[in-house]
C-alpha cells in the first residue's frame, strides 16, 4: 500500500520550485519539471530520514515501542 502526498510545482523564470503540502521541509527546485520532480523525491527521502534520526536521538535511553505503520491512502 502506498501513501499519496501532494506535490506542488510552480513555474518561475529559473525553472520550477516544488514542495510537498503534507511534509514541511520537503522542498526543492529544478531547471525543468522532470528535474524538479526527481529532486522532490530525493528531498522527501532526506526529510524522512532526518526526522527518524532526530526522533531516535531525542528518545535515546527511553523505553519506547517502535513498529511499522501503514496508512490507507
Dihedral (CA of 42, 48, 54, 60) sign? negative
In contact, 6 and 73? CB cutoff 8 Å: no
Q: What is the mean pLDDT of the chain?
A: 94
In contact, 26 and 40? CB cutoff 8 Å: yes
Spell out the domain ranges in the chain: 7-58
pLDDT of residue 54: 96
Q: What's this model's pTM, rounded to 2 decimal places?
A: 0.84
Q: Where are the alpha helices (DSSP H) in the chain?
A: 33-58
What is the mean predicted confidence (pLDDT) over 34-47?
97
Q: How many CB atoms lie within 10 A of CB 47?
A: 16
pLDDT of residue 64: 94
pLDDT of residue 73: 65
The helix/strand/coil state of 38 is helix
Q: pLDDT class for 70, splitting at 50, 70, 90?
A: confident
Amino acid at each position: 500500500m502506498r501513501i499519496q502526498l501532494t506535490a506542488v510545482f510552480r513555474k518561475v523564470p529559473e525553472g520550477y520550485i516544488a514542495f510537498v503540502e503534507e511534509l514541511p521541509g520537503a522542498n526543492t527546485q529544478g531547471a525543468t519539471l522532470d528535474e524538479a520532480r526527481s529532486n522532490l523525491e530525493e528531498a522527501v527521502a532526506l526529510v524522512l530520514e532526518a526526522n527518524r534520526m532526530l526522533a531516535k536521538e531525542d528518545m535515546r535511553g527511553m523505553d519506547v515501542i517502535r513498529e511499522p505503520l501503514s496508512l490507507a491512502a
